A and B are shown apart, each in its own frame.
Chain A
Amino acid sequence: GNSVTQMEGPVTLSEEAFLTINCTYTATGYPSLFWYVQYPGEGLQLLLKATKADDKGSNKGFEATYRKETTSFHLEKGSVQVSDSAVYFCALSVSSGNTGKLIFGQGTTLQVKP
Chain B
Amino acid sequence: DTGVSQNPRHKITKRGQNVTFRCDPISEHNRLYWYRQTLGQGPEFLTYFQNEAQLEKSRLLSDRFSAERPKGSFSTLEIQRTEQGDSAMYLCASSQGADNSPLHFGNGTRLTVT
Interface residue ranges, A against B (CB under 8 Å): 4, 32, 34, 36, 41-46, 49, 51, 89, 91, 93, 95, 98-107
Contact = CB atoms under 8 A, between A and B. Distances in A.
A91 B33 CA distance: 15
Contacts of B41: 106-107
Contacts of A36: 105
B43 A100 contact: no
Interface of B: 3-4, 31, 33, 40-45, 48, 55-56, 91, 93, 95, 97, 99-108
B73 to A, nearest CB: 18
29 contacts: A41-B107, A42-B107, A43-B4, A43-B107, A43-B108, A44-B103, A44-B105, A49-B100, A49-B102, A51-B100, A89-B43, A93-B100, A95-B99, A99-B48, A99-B56, A100-B31, A100-B33, A100-B99, A101-B33, A101-B48, A102-B43, A102-B45, A103-B45, A104-B42, A104-B44, A106-B40, A106-B41, A107-B40, A107-B42
Contacts of A99: 48, 55-56
Contacts of A101: 33, 45, 48, 56
